[in-house]
Every structure is written in structure tokens, then in C-alpha cells.
Amino acid sequence: MNPAVPSLSDAIRAALLTGDPRSKVMATRKLVRDWRMGRLAGHGDTPMPDKPAWPDYLELLPPGRMPKRRRGGSEQTRIALWHSLAHIEFVAIDLALDMVGRFGADMAPEFTDDFLAVAADEAMHFALIERKLRALLTHYGALPAHGGLWEAAQLTSEDVAARLALVLEARGLDVTPATRDRVEAQGDRQGARLLQRILDDEIRHVRMGVKHFTKWCEIHQESPADHWKTLVARHFHGTLRPPFNDSARLAAGLSRDFYTPVA
């Protein structure tokens, strides 16, 4: 590796430790572009941080202390919804980057390319939702956010199969359609189109996770569906609850053999 050329792991660590939201988005876009253009060396041995940097002004609360979101079309309810979605997408940037930085060197080259593409998509999603918040005369960080979203990443920091199992949990595929329909019923067609775009991208992201999880299981002579259930029981608390978006899950490569036995 040329010491004058920064490694991919250097760039990922720097992006993970960037707390300002806009700067994190720009750093993510730049490192993905640099990787595709051959301007970064290989993975290197730079360690990933235990936790990424988030905005200093963002108030993080435990799940049990988060304010309950009310349904309806009031402006406050709409702001709370989009703020929650912004936080999910913001953390998703870090999850995708950490996936590559932590596990990419030991996986096939396609793994790095796929999850860097996921990181770029999540950065785009966050930027679009942040623009939506600005149109509502607010911003990301104006409300408290769920403080436990990184916990699953910490629990799976030593096991790429377990981290991929987190991708295959795919809960976003189940809840996004109902949110999209509710937003459209309130007359926000632009917001509904944005959620449909996110849903389409998430189907593709889960499909990538299924592909790499299946390859890992083939190498280690494990049944993908059975091993996924084992990892869910070992690492993740609670249960998957229906209803499931079976069509979206199937489009992502997730058969019912994966999730119905643990529902």
C-alpha cells in the first residue's frame, strides 16, 4: 500500500467520527466516489471506533423515555415522524460504513462495493429527509432521538454473519408502506414519493445482505434460514411481530422460512 495514498479504512473512520450531519453526508459521498475512482488504497488496518460521532446538540434518550408519537396530520406530528426517519437514516449511514470498515477486508471485493453503495444511498436518504424537515421550518436534532439504535451494531461487532443478520431483520420493509400511505392520505404526495424511493432502495439493500449472508453460510456449511434464526435468538431481544410485507421481503430474497418461525 502506498503510504501517500489514504486507505479506505482511514476514510471510513474519519467519516464515522464526523458528527456534523451535513459534513458526514459529504464525507460519505466523497469516500464512496474516491473508492470508485481508485483514489483510495485498500482497506488498511485502521480500527473502527466503538461508536460513531453524532451531533453534540442531539438529545439521545433510552427507548422507554422517547415521547410517544401521535397519529394524525398536525404539524407537530408530521415533524416528529420525519425527525424519527431522519435519525434512522443518519444512523444507517454509520451502520453501512462500519460494515465495510470492520468486515470488508475479510470478505469478497463485492461486499465492499455493495455496502459502500448502501452508505451512499443512506446519505442521500438523510439529505432528502433533512430537506423535508427544513421545509417544515425545523431541522435534525430539534427533537430527542432514540439512543439505542447503535446497540445492535455493538453487539455484532465481532461477527459479520450476525451483523448481516441485522440487515436481514428488514423491519423497514414492513413499516414503510403504511407510513407512506398515511403520509399520502394527509395530502403530502412529495413525502409519499420520498418514502417509496426509500422503500425501493431498502429492498435492494436487504437483497445485498441476503446475498452476502447466503455466501457466508455456504462457505461455513450452514443453512441460511436456520443460522439466521440462531443469530436472532442469540443477539437480538424481542420478537418479530406481524404483519410482514411478504412481497417486499420476497423481492429482497427473504423467504418466509426465515422470519415466520421466529414471529
Which domains does the chain carry? Answer: 6-42+67-147 (1.20.120), 150-263 (no CATH)
pTM metric for this prediction: 0.94
Intervals of the chain under pLDDT 70:
1-3, 69-73, 237-239, 262-263
How much is the pLDDT for 71? 67
Instruction: Write out pLDDT tens, residues 83-99.
Output: 999 999 999 999 999 99
DSSP the chain: --TTSPBHHHHHHHHHT--SHHHHHHHHHHHHHHHHTT-SB---SPPPPSS----TTPPEE-GGGSPPPPPSS-HHHHHHHHHHHHHHHHHHHHHHHHHHHHHGGGS-HHHHHHHHHHHHHHHHHHHHHHHHHHHTT--TTSS-EETTTTHHHHHTTT-HHHHHHHHHH-HHHHHHHHHHHHHHHTT-HHHHHHHHHHHHHHHHHHHHHHHHHHHHHHHTT--HHHHHHHHHHHH--S---S---HHHHHHTT--HHHHGGG-
Instruction: Write out pLDDT tens, residues 105-140.
Output: 999 999 999 999 999 999 999 999 999 999 999 999
How much is the pLDDT for 259? 80
